[in-house]
Amino acid sequence: MMNPHVLEEEKVFKDPIHKYIYVQDQMIWDLINTREFQRLRRIRQLGTSYLTFHGAEHSRFSHSLGVYEITRKIISQFERGGYSDWPREERMVALCAALLHDIGHGPFSHSIEEVFDTNHEDWTCRILLESTEINQILHNYDPSFPERIAAVIRKTYDKPIVISLVSSQMDADRMDYLLRDAYYTGVNYGTFDLDRILRVLRPHQERIVVKESGMHAVEDYLMSRYQMYWQVYFHPVTRSSEIILRQIFRRAKELYGGNYTFSWMIKPFQDLFEGTLDVKSYTLLDEALVQTVFSQWMNESDELLSDLCERFLNRRLYKYVTLDDAEEGLWDEISDQFLSIGLRPDYHLEIDFPYDLPYDVYRSGSPASSHGKEEKPPILLLDKENRLSEISERSDIIRSITGLHQGKYHLYYPEEPLIESAHKLKPHIRELFGLL
Amino acid sequence: MMNPHVLEEEKVFKDPIHKYIYVQDQMIWDLINTREFQRLRRIRQLGTSYLTFHGAEHSRFSHSLGVYEITRKIISQFERGGYSDWPREERMVALCAALLHDIGHGPFSHSIEEVFDTNHEDWTCRILLESTEINQILHNYDPSFPERIAAVIRKTYDKPIVISLVSSQMDADRMDYLLRDAYYTGVNYGTFDLDRILRVLRPHQERIVVKESGMHAVEDYLMSRYQMYWQVYFHPVTRSSEIILRQIFRRAKELYGGNYTFSWMIKPFQDLFEGTLDVKSYTLLDEALVQTVFSQWMNESDELLSDLCERFLNRRLYKYVTLDDAEEGLWDEISDQFLSIGLRPDYHLEIDFPYDLPYDVYRSGSPASSHGKEEKPPILLLDKENRLSEISERSDIIRSITGLHQGKYHLYYPEEPLIESAHKLKPHIRELFGLL
Amino acid sequence: MMNPHVLEEEKVFKDPIHKYIYVQDQMIWDLINTREFQRLRRIRQLGTSYLTFHGAEHSRFSHSLGVYEITRKIISQFERGGYSDWPREERMVALCAALLHDIGHGPFSHSIEEVFDTNHEDWTCRILLESTEINQILHNYDPSFPERIAAVIRKTYDKPIVISLVSSQMDADRMDYLLRDAYYTGVNYGTFDLDRILRVLRPHQERIVVKESGMHAVEDYLMSRYQMYWQVYFHPVTRSSEIILRQIFRRAKELYGGNYTFSWMIKPFQDLFEGTLDVKSYTLLDEALVQTVFSQWMNESDELLSDLCERFLNRRLYKYVTLDDAEEGLWDEISDQFLSIGLRPDYHLEIDFPYDLPYDVYRSGSPASSHGKEEKPPILLLDKENRLSEISERSDIIRSITGLHQGKYHLYYPEEPLIESAHKLKPHIRELFGLL
Amino acid sequence: MMNPHVLEEEKVFKDPIHKYIYVQDQMIWDLINTREFQRLRRIRQLGTSYLTFHGAEHSRFSHSLGVYEITRKIISQFERGGYSDWPREERMVALCAALLHDIGHGPFSHSIEEVFDTNHEDWTCRILLESTEINQILHNYDPSFPERIAAVIRKTYDKPIVISLVSSQMDADRMDYLLRDAYYTGVNYGTFDLDRILRVLRPHQERIVVKESGMHAVEDYLMSRYQMYWQVYFHPVTRSSEIILRQIFRRAKELYGGNYTFSWMIKPFQDLFEGTLDVKSYTLLDEALVQTVFSQWMNESDELLSDLCERFLNRRLYKYVTLDDAEEGLWDEISDQFLSIGLRPDYHLEIDFPYDLPYDVYRSGSPASSHGKEEKPPILLLDKENRLSEISERSDIIRSITGLHQGKYHLYYPEEPLIESAHKLKPHIRELFGLL
């Protein structure tokens, strides 16, 4: 008799990164076809990076399939190898967690999360656990599944090896996004030898570790990550577009909380401002909606808001100058000067230091970063005598980038008003902004 | 003294297809930064194909830069070669036409154009000629430019060689989209040797022709086109999503013209229904807006409209069965059966034959296709004695695909209601739809 | 207990085409390490093509591993699919035949075979059956193996499906060489989607057939083959180097049979001339030896031989002119004129028509080609109702290239003496050779 | 009138790395067609590495064309940029030096140079300066050219910028070989963004420097180099084949100097042993000859020599064990044990430490390495204020790999005799060699 959980005929998706993505299980196929998963097509993987790298228009839908596929390949290699340390009964949990790990991402997550103090991991768990198509499919398969997948996402699942597949220093998530983002941006720094890495992963006790002979492949992977951070993820132009985005949300929230009346509003945004988003309205929030809202708000009477929206949609971003350090005195002086020419430092001036971002090229040892992010398990090498060692103890290269401090301060501002009023600024401020 | 038209420092865009896109002229840079050009970021190059090939999320913005870059490379090769048949003073006209040739595309152009009887080439010309940022930049450079670029688009420009760069059987447009669509879908059939083709193009009299030694490279390019048509552009799943889209527009137009009151409407759509779109409101139409509208319309009380919108957004497409031919008797019978189970043949049943599409893999000789599309100039080979011959006279391969008839009829329909009411259908109709 | 035939740990070879080549069986590993197989490192896959495409320096060793790997992948897909038409017990026979199918190739096979009337398939069988390291390993595994592998090579094996893996219109041999030759020459026409093709192959009755849905992938593969033939394999410069090579062998054979005494000779060549090659001395013939012999023969007192050797080693090839047809009268006249300026038409003049080569882009139906080459089984499509059809009945593209006649006559000759004595030639002969 | 130095029509070579290699100058074309340059086709770029990476069968011919092409591109970018620091009149000197920099390489250079104390740079200069086809072409162009090119090779040329094109920490030589070796081995660690690097190079004073904005691209290039060294160039299996090769030369030299009579000998080898090689006989030494000699020597009566030759040709290499350090006591003990079972430590035992190789991943500052290799000029960054800084001062990554010590001791030995006599060895020696 047929196993009702296995598709009669394997389904495939054509994918530029993995050539094909293979689906063999009915549940995986059903999850992909839910409205919550299809919504990921309307959320870009790299947020505003497409304004810097025009090719980076790929969605979280593509990436989620990719994470699933890498996880499937790892597990399938574990099963072929017959390693006793891999708990075979966890296969479906791991595949679902891989596929769904980003299901709670909202449009331009970072900015929205910062301004409205929400968290995409919480939303992922709510989508898994509350009344959704995804929840129903998981529950029908096994009533314990929604809670188990959520536990993997929250990193509280009692099989750490499953967590480490989806969330560790070298997990399926990172491997897919590095390759995918490199492909779509056209920046070839992110390329590393995925096949080689998959070949050297081993389940060992409760972790996934790397055969010692794969050390150089891991070095290469970590260097790719390092390069992608500096070339793509921290690109100062992308940072500028994120700043604009955040200012829009901040301003709209401020206006909404004040006595301003929007000439145009739409329900999911109202819920967002009111703090009354539920799963149903949250999943209506997508980047199509955000762009439409901004397009309408270009007509708002609040000039600050309409200007910011216009800047975002038509890509008239803030410029930046580079500062070696960020003394407070200088900052105050610039603020004063901005005020004196009618600019608002709270919206027209922003200092940015990329190190404040979740910079995780590779850190080890520290129990938790200073920014409250919990630590990802480190990468361990397994030698022929079955001894483990942390990779940065073995590799000079990796040690050298572990905890590397880099980056400069960037001061972002709108260029046009500064040029117009340049003559009113003090000479050294003019010079700082390159206005001669 | 500096030439004010030349950028002090060349600008580059990182591009996955051409590695880099080089901008040397101030005007090109300014055109890219207009709101009309930035809007192309919100219009996908391949319309609904991303529902079939998840990677195909790239925009007309990327493609337009690519067409510009290929044109720039061809011209630069002509200039280096010192060919007297290339009119050097036309460089900027050609570059602008290449960059802007798609500026009038609306969201999901094919469907909207069909239902509302508009035409993206007309809109391109209006954007060039009416009050827009693009018009202003062109006009400032040279008052004759808006009209000249429009003439190239309309194929009435008095230098046919400029037209053929942007619009011929082997133009910069096609070369970029084949490579780009192949890259983003991950389908590698579209790959051909662009470098080789660029090396063998020659300006000759009023045309661009191909050195005889490049014949095999052209064969390869045409085969790529042939393959991309059948593998990607005519893919039956993509056709299904286009059918849904067209039905949504048809239904909404019908409702708007009747006495239905929409519970949610937005201005550019009202203008579209009223036929009062001007350039300003047209350029507000983008795919973000369309998706937001559909998302809202999922709540409309008209069940047909809300069902169609839900189908589109959540990718619950119509299924299809393949018919060898399309006899009218059968069609009537199916329609009757659909009516008998409460379906509406005008919305729930559609027959599709890909050959009705602008199928231009390669045709030559015919003065005009039966669908009123004007003919693109054919590809000419130039031999060492400076004689020209049409390529299909020389290549058996190309002759074999010239005017090739292919494709089968596909009958599209919603699957769920048919399954539910299968027992009410006649046996041979049930069999036709695979319902046993 | 361990299976002694299975390697304790899988071995891998890094390969540019397949990324990795996987060896799981002890016998495959042992066969690769024999002196007969290692000898393939000293025989180039593409003979003299490296004189036209400098990158084409790859050996039959690499290609043989590749054919093995593709065969391994096909079989592994058959086994995973659980198809009953695949005889699982034939796995090792197929893998050995794939690995060893080229083991009998000599240096620059085509030329040597033509001049000395030998045949690499015969040598392959002798290496399998006589006293060699390969024979011993096969025999130790199973005494019937040498004979069974030889039967596959001779196409007399009683399981035709095994033969078709290694020798058919779409076998592992062709798939590897097209991809590999394209990669090493840098000519990207030869690329097709191997993964896709492997996915659509099915064992069916006694053959390997293609699922109907893979038709376009097969079209693409055949077009690649067509392009590679015209761009690479029939390249007129490569043809020139093969002519030189053949002339060297012809001249040396003639001298050896006459009363000329070579100032330098080496045993395997003596055996070749005497017709007394046995397996032992045959396997000493490799391209290193041939080049060393030619290098020594540059000092022979026979000017014809020393000139030809010098031409080959220092790449001073014959030039060619293209003729539309080959009338006998003209030929005689050219011969006379060559004689009149001291050239020898039998060595200094050669007409070449690529169609005389084993041109097998795709033919079907004909019982045997006019050149005595037996027919390869055609490519069959399998539809959903399990009906078979020959692919050229279904594909216009393939029908168009089936039996396509192409090519022009090329007349090869040494340029320098013709230039020197141009004034002595009749005007129309001078014109024919471009000497003004 | 035509410039006789410029080809009427540009010539191209198809190349897998650079797509095409362009030749515009008559002299470059003529140099490529000399017998000395064509000889490079018979010398592999990576020596014995093809025994580890079967794809690495490419020759110094291909690489030399590649170095020429990168140099041509750099110069062409300098000329387009109009930088006054580039001495335009040096173009041909630089191109010739790039093309010819490896012309003096012998077969398997490292081993031969070590045993016979020759030096390929000396031979390069002799080929440039003595009576050769290359010398004649250079001299005809300009009588000072042979000497000038030789000065570039010797790094004594009075325009240091020309030297640094061909020989510096980031020269055309390295850029080509990293990309080419990565391509042919199939190891993708060596890939870096050549286009990007070419875009950021600038002539500055007497050097070639890198625009500051290119720092990450240089990091990536240096990391590729680092990875290629550890993955490919220092691969322990390649080291084993080099050891065998060196032992063959050592043994043959020893026998030749003793009273042994070779049953087979050939002139260029005799000259090599006698130390009487002149340019004429040196250029007859190629890898075809070496392999033929070894093939003949498999029949020599000296068992050591014939065994070593057989090992090399049939790839029966020495195995190795890894030692953490190399204490002398242990070494003596192993030697004694080897002697006791009839092995010769001077031929059957070799300790290898890769760090002894010319390890130049990146060093700076040290006036000269301890191995007498002169220092390559370091990589300098040029900031917007035209200030220079050495790159390792700016990049943590590069600083981390500067002068990195790595590698372990490997002890090489023939496995078979050890297995046979294992029972005669002391237990801890048995254990060291993994013989239980």
The predicted-structure confidence for A257-295, as pLDDT tens digits, reads as follows 999 999 999 999 999 999 999 999 999 999 999 999 999
Locate tokens 């003209």: which residue?
A: C330
Residue B2 has pLDDT above 70, yes or no: no
How close does chain C come to A14, measured CA to CA in Å? 10
Residue D18: closest CA among chain B residues belongs to which residue?
B195
Is it the case that residue B377 has pLDDT exceeding 90? Answer: no
Residue C19: which of A12, A20, A195 has the nearest Cβ?
A195
pLDDT over 60 at B199, yes or no: yes
> Which pLDDT score, from 0 to 100, does residue C191 have?
83
Distance CA B278, CA A243 (A): 33
Say which CATH number the domain at C346 has. Answer: 1.20.1250.30
Residues of B in contact with C191 (CB under 8 A): 188, 191
Number of domains in chain B: 2
pLDDT reading at B380 higher than 90: yes
User: Kind of pairing, strands C207-211 and C380-382?
Assistant: parallel
Residue A1 pLDDT greater than 70, yes or no: no
> pLDDT tens digits, residue range B52-66?
999 999 999 999 999
- What residues of A are in contact with residue B292 (Cβ under 8 Å)? 266, 288-289, 292
Residue D376: pLDDT over 80: no
Per-residue model confidence (pLDDT) at position A372:
40
Mind listing the pLDDT tens digit for each residue in D69-116?
A: 999 999 999 998 889 999 999 999 999 999 999 999 999 988 999 999
Please indicate, yes or no, if residue D392 is contained in any of the structural domains. no
Give the number of other Cβ atoms within 10 Å of residue B336's Cβ: 12
Residue D382 belongs to a domain = no
D396 → closest Cβ in A193, A223, A404: A404
What is the pLDDT, as a whole number, of residue A139?
98
Residue A96 pLDDT > 80: yes
For residue D435, pLDDT over 90 is answered with no
pLDDT band at A357 (very low <50, low <70, confident <90, very high): very low
Which tens digits make up the pLDDT trace of B145-192? 999 999 999 999 999 999 999 998 889 999 999 999 999 999 987 788
pLDDT at B373: 47
Confidence grade of residue A394 (pLDDT, cut at 50, 70, 90): confident
d(CA A221, CA C195): 25
- Judge if C197 and C328 occupy the same domain: no
Find all residues with CB under 8 Å of C310, minimum gap 6, and list them: C298, C316
Banded model confidence at residue D131, pLDDT cuts 50, 70, 90: very high
Among D78, D95, D207, D87, CA closest to D145:
D95
CA of B203: how far to CAs of B90, B98, B160, in Å?
A: 13, 17, 11
Residues B253 and B208 in one domain: no
Q: Are residues D168 and D27 in the same domain?
A: yes
CA C36, chain centre distance (Å): 18
- State the pLDDT at residue D181: 97
* Phi, psi of A275, rounded to the nearest 5 degrees: 75, 25
Angle at B172 between CA B168 and CA B174, to 5 degrees: 70
Domain annotation covers residue D227: yes
Q: Which of B414-423, D157-166, D406-415 has the lowest mean pLDDT?
A: D406-415
Question: Quick one: tokens of A336?
Answer: 């004063």
Residues of A in contact with B287 (CB under 8 A): 288
Q: What SS3 state is found at A250?
A: helix
Please report residues of B whose CB lies closer than 8 A to that of A66: none
Interval D265-278 mean pLDDT: 95
Predicted pLDDT of residue A285: 94
Residues of A in contact with B16 (CB under 8 A): 55, 183-186
Does residue D263 sit at the C interface (CB-CB below 8 Å)? no
- Chain B residues whose beta carbon lies within 8 Å of the beta carbon of residue C406: 396
| CA–CA dist D421, A73 (Å, integer) | 45
- In a shared domain, residues D178 and D314: no
pLDDT for the residue numbered C369: 37
User: Does residue D237 sit at the A interface (CB-CB below 8 Å)?
Assistant: no
* Pair (A87, A102) in one structural domain: yes
Confidence class for position D399, pLDDT limits 50, 70, 90: confident
Q: What is the pLDDT of residue A367?
A: 37
**Distance (Å) from the alpha carbon of D74 to chain C's nearest alpha carbon:** 22
Contact D41 C50 (CB under 8 A): yes
The answer to whether the Cβ–Cβ distance between B401 and C404 falls below 8 Å is no
Show the CA angle centred on residue A310, arms to residues A308 and A316, nearest 5°: 85
Q: Under an 8 A CB cutoff, do C292 and D287 touch?
A: no
Q: Is B265 helix (H, G, I), strand (E, B) or coil?
A: coil
Among candidate residues D75, D165, D76, the one with its CA nearest the CA of residue D377: D165
In the listed set D200, D233, D266, which residue is the last one of a domain according to the structure? Answer: D233
Residue B388: half-sphere exposure toward Cβ, Cα within 13 Å: 13
Q: Smallest CA–CA separation between C61 and chain A, in Å?
A: 23
pLDDT at A406: 59
Say yes or no: B417 and B278 in one domain.
yes
Which residues 378-397 of A are in CB contact (within 8 Å) with D?
Answer: 396-397
Q: Does B216 contact C230 at a Cβ distance shorter than 8 Å? A: yes
Same domain, yes or no: A133 and A251: no
Report the residue of D292, D296, D299 to disrupt the C interface, i.e. the one with the largest count of C CBs within 10 Å.
D292
Here the tokens at position D99 are: 């093309």
What percent helix, strand, coil does chain C show, rounded to 5?
Answer: 55, 10, 30
pLDDT at position D406 is 59
* CB contact (8 A) between residue B15 and residue A62: no
Residue range(s) defining the domain that contains residue D189: 6-233
- pLDDT tens for B95-147 read 999 999 999 999 998 899 999 999 999 999 999 999 999 999 999 999 999 99
Q: Is A379 left (phi over 0), alpha (psi -120 to 50) or beta?
A: beta
Q: What is the mean pLDDT of residues A175-202?
A: 92
Largest CA distance in chain A: 84
The whole-angstrom separation of Cα C224 and Cα C56 is 17
Check D231 against A216: CB less than 8 A apart: yes
Count, residues in chain A:
436
Question: What is the mean predicted confidence (pLDDT) over B76-94?
Answer: 93
Name chain C contacts of B216, Cβ cutoff 8 Å: 189, 227, 230-231
CB nearest to C195's CB, from A19, A195, A199: A19
pLDDT for B272-283, tens place per residue?
999 999 999 999
Q: Which 8-state DSSP code applies to residue B186?
A: -
Four-residue CA torsion sign, D355, D356, D361, D363: positive
Cβ atoms of residues B55 and A62 within 8 Å: yes
pLDDT tens for B330-372 read 889 999 999 999 999 999 999 887 654 333 445 544 433 334 4
Shortest Cα–Cα distance, A200 to chain C (Å): 12
B254 at A interface, C-beta within 8 A: no
- Please list the rounded mean pLDDT of every run of 10 residues in chain C (436 residues): 76 95 96 98 97 97 98 94 92 98 94 91 97 98 98 96 92 96 90 90 94 89 87 92 96 95 95 95 96 97 97 97 80 93 94 57 42 66 91 80 69 94 93 87
In a domain, B363, yes or no: no
- Whether residues C49 and C105 fall in one domain: yes
Distance from CA of B223 to the nearest CA of D (A): 21
Output the pLDDT for position D436.
74
Q: Is C213 on the interface with B (CB under 8 A)?
A: no
* pLDDT more than 70, % of chain B: 93
Clarify whether residues D197 and D227 are in a common domain.
yes
- B-facing residues of C in 158-197 (CB < 8 A) are 188-189, 191, 193
For residue C216, what are its two tokens? 């376009």
Q: What are the beta bridge partners of residue B202? A: B209
Helices of type H across D4-144:
26-32, 35-38, 60-81, 91-100, 109-116, 120-129, 133-141
Say if residue D241 is in the same domain as residue D226.
no
How far apart are the CA of B161 and the nearest CA of chain C, in angstroms? 29
Chain center to CA of C176: 12
A203 and A64 share a domain? yes
Mean pLDDT rounded to a whole number for chain B: 90
Any domain includes D59:
yes
Over residues C122-178, the pLDDT tens digits come to 999 999 999 999 999 999 999 999 999 999 999 999 999 999 999 988 899 999 999
Show the tokens assigned to A263.
Answer: 């000439």
The three-state secondary structure class of A378 is coil
Substitution target in A11, A13, A14, A17 with the highest count of B β-carbons within 10 Å is: A14
Last residue of a domain, one of C194, C216, C233: C233
Residue D369 pLDDT: 37
The region of weakest confidence among B79-83, C204-208, D321-325 is D321-325
Q: What is the pLDDT of residue B405?
A: 56
SS3 state at A204 = strand
Query: Among C223, C396, C400, whose Cβ lies nearest the Cβ of B396?
Result: C400
Helix (H) or strand (E) holding D374: none
C431 residue type, one letter: E
pLDDT at B355: 57
Whether B45 is in a domain gets the answer yes
How far off is chain C from A221, nearest CA to CA, in Å? 17
Q: Pick A220's closest partner by Cβ from D227, D396, D399.
A: D227
User: d(Cα C268, Cα C281) in Å, to the nearest integer?
Assistant: 6
* Dist CA B50 CA B386 (whole Å): 45
Q: A216 — alpha (psi -120 to 50), left (phi > 0) or beta?
A: alpha
Report how far residue B33's alpha carbon sits from residue B20's, in angstroms, rounded to the nearest whole number. 18
C11 inside 8 A of chain D by CB: no
**Strand ranges inside B270-330, DSSP E:** 319-323
Is the minimum CB–CB distance between C280 and chain D shorter than 8 Å?
Answer: no
How distant is the Cα of D308 from the closest Cα of chain C, in angstroms?
14
Does B33 sit within 8 Å of A315, measured CB to CB?
Answer: yes
Taking the CA of residue D365 and the nearest CA in chain C, the distance in Å comes to 37
E strand segments, C170-312:
201-204, 207-211
Q: Residues B20-43: pLDDT tens digits?
A: 999 999 999 999 999 999 999 999
Q: Is residue B383 part of a domain?
A: no
CATH number at residue A145: 1.10.3210.10
- pLDDT at site D2: 55
Judged by CB atoms closer than 8 Å, whether chains meet at D399 and A401 is answered as no
The reply to whether B200 and B252 lie within a common domain is no
Q: How high is the pLDDT of residue C328?
A: 77
Residue D388 belongs to a domain: no
- Rounded-to-integer distance, Cα A391 and Cα C333, Å: 78
CA gyration radius for chain D?
24
Q: How many Cβ atoms are within 10 Å of A129's Cβ, its own excluded?
A: 17
Report CA-CA distances (Å) from C417 to C338, C413, C420: 10, 9, 5
Strand partners, A11: A23
Band the pLDDT of A100: cuts 50, 70, 90. very high
* Tens digit of each residue's pLDDT (9 = 90 or more) over A34-60: 999 999 999 999 999 999 999 999 999
**Cβ-based contacts of D14 with chain C (< 8 Å):** 53, 55, 185-187
Last-in-domain residue among C233, C263, C296: C233
